[in-house]
Amino acid sequence: MQQINGYWVDENNNRWACSYYTAEQAEEYSATLINCLDCRNCQDCQDCQDCRDCWYCRNCWNCRGCGDCKNYQDNPQRYVTPCIGSRNDNTTIYWLDGNVQVVCGCFRGNLDEFETRVREVHGDSEHGRAYMAEIAKVRALMQ
Question: Which has the minimum average pLDDT: 49-58, 70-79, 84-93?
Answer: 70-79
Question: Which has the minimum average pLDDT: 5-9, 76-80, 125-129?
Answer: 76-80
The CA R_g of the chain, rounded to the nearest whole Å, is: 17
Question: What does pTM read for this prediction?
Answer: 0.54
Contact 88, 94 (CB under 8 A): no
Residue-level pLDDT at 106:
72
Question: Which has the minimum average pLDDT: 8-17, 49-58, 81-90, 132-141?
Answer: 49-58
More confident residue, 115 or 96: 115
Amino acid identity, position 130? A
Residue-level pLDDT at 50:
82
∠ CA(64), CA(54), CA(100), 5° rounding? 75
DSSP H or E run through 9: strand 7-9
